[in-house]
Amino acid sequence: MLYISLIQPNIIWEDKAANLAEYEKTIEGIAAKKEVIILPEMFSTGFSMAPERLAETMDGPTVAWMKNMSRKHRCIITGSLIIEENGHYYNRLIWMQPDGNFGIYDKRHLFGYAKENDHYSPGEKRLIAQVKGIRICLQVCYDLRFPVWARNQGDEYDVLIYVANWPERRNLAWKTLLQARAIENLSYVIGVNRVGEDGNGIYHSGDSSVFGPTGELIWQEAHEATVFSFIVDKEVVQNTREHFPFLNDADKFLFLD
């Protein structure tokens, strides 16, 4: 059993200090057991195409904040932010553990429609983390449209997480594809989105969601900033895959650049 809390915020545009202060209060107020807390994509700034002004290094204040909060609450905190490294900018998800160790995933599929690919460099490797024997594949927003990148080959992971800034105007795709990823991968799928209008006047309805491994909707919430806590049960995943051994019949392939 793994306790997971999703935070669906109304991100204050490009105001890191204000956003981190709000998250701090929200995390303090979570009544459920804290084991994994999920924040959305670019949680400290909103989905900004100004990395030259907003990017931090891995020694910067937002990563330090994640370390402090993870240590203080003795839980894992994850979400993506804007990182500069070796002259490149990344939309980087960080999986921060209470001991200060962390994993990273750089968003693979950059959203050309908003010219994200003009400002950021793509990642090359997936990240599958593990906690309490539960394996979690971590991806970012637009990755959701590319099922091969999420494919659960054999039995690689039990939970698939997407952190996002996904606009309301395309929320049908968001909700449909999250459910599809659950069905085809026989895994829990969690989508954590933001609400409210960003600095470009684009409205986000949230629709953060949790689907079970047969595609059943466990929870979904639109338009309101909120927190949802629930329990991932690995036995549910195992029983589903034993009863419906569809992954055994899937095509085998390798990821190539």
Q: Which residues are catalytic?
A: 41, 107, 141
Buried b vs exposed e over 55-68: b needs ≥16 C-beta within 10 Å? bbeeeeebbebbbe
Number of C-beta neighbours around residue 139 at 10 A: 26
- Residues contacting 27, CB < 8 A, separation 6+: 7, 34, 37, 69, 73, 77
Q: What is the end-to-end Cα distance of the chain in Å, rounded?
A: 36
Burial status of residue 37 (CB atoms within 10 A of its CB: 0-12, 13-18, 19 or more): buried
Q: What is the largest CA-CA distance in the chain?
A: 51
Its sign, for the CA torsion 252, 94, 160, 193, is negative
